[in-house]
Structure 1
Amino acid sequence: MQTASAEATAVSVQNKNSSQSVTLDMQNMTCAMCKVTIKKALQGVEGVQKVSVDGDSKIADVTFDPQKTSIEALIKATTNAGYPATVHQPK
């Protein structure tokens, strides 16, 4: 099992038992409804356990079961909803 934190690696990804967390940088977020749409799109992906969307920093924190879905599937879901995403790169 691989464990990484934002401080330890350039990719903000964490594994915890059967769950994995990722922070996504969101594009096209301009209003409160954007947050709702992104959250619903991510929650619609099988295996997603928790979603938190921050409109100010334009990021989404997602916890998911890597046996059921992938980071690529999460990005595809937000892109299909009109909000392309990339894995957050800590500064």
Structure 2
Amino acid sequence: MKALLLFGLLFGLVSVPAVYAEPSSPMKSSRRTVLLNVQNMTCSMCKFTIKKALSSVAGTEKVRVNFEDKTATVTFNPQKTNNHALIEAITNAGYPATVQSTKQ
């Protein structure tokens, strides 16, 4: 019985540091946001096609399309996709685009 109690106490002390351990290296930003200038948006329905094309790219997390400004704001995981893949997706849908700005 004493051995079991001692084992439990030792096991508890050994496992505690692992629970509270800090990561050894800081995590890199897992998100990036790009503002795209989009061409050929002629009606308010175009934004749905653009949003669908951008959302279909793996790694895309959030898409906002602004018909009035002719822009699309995309938040994505840079480990899964990049600006080029996003531009290619909407260009293939008939809406060529260029990067206006990028934020990390």
TM-score higher than 0.5: yes
Instruction: Give the aligned partner of residue 6 of structure 1.
Output: none
Instruction: Give the aligned partner of residue 67 of structure 1.
Output: 79
Shift of 1:80: 0.2
d(CA) in 1 for partners of 2:84, 2:68: 24
Query: What residue ranges of structure 1 are gaps of 5+ in the alignment?
Result: 1-15
Number of aligned residues: 74
Shift of 1:32: 1.4
Instruction: Give the aligned partner of residue 31 of structure 1.
Output: 43
Q: Which whole-Å deviations, capped at 9, do the CAs of 1:59-85 have from their partners, x for residues lacking one? A: 000000000001000000000000000
The correspondence for 1:41, drawn from 48, 53, 61, is 53
d(CA) in 2 for partners of 1:29, 1:88: 16
Structure number with larger C-alpha Rg: 2
1:53 paired with 2:69, answer no
Which has more strand, going by share of residues? Answer: 1
4+ long deviations beyond 3 Å: none
Query: What residue ranges of structure 2 are gaps of 5+ in the alignment?
Result: 1-27
The correspondence for 1:81, drawn from 50, 68, 93, is 93
Q: Which whole-Å deviations, capped at 9, do the CAs of 1:29-75 have from their partners, x for residues lacking one? A: 01111100000000000000000000000000000000000100000
Computed over aligned residues only, the root mean square deviation of the Cα atoms, in angstroms, reads 1.2
d(CA) in 2 for partners of 1:72, 1:63: 14
d(CA) in 2 for partners of 1:43, 1:55: 17
Shift of 1:17: 1.7
Normalised by the size of structure 1, how large is the TM-score?
0.78
Normalised by the size of structure 2, how large is the TM-score?
0.69
Q: Percent identity?
A: 61
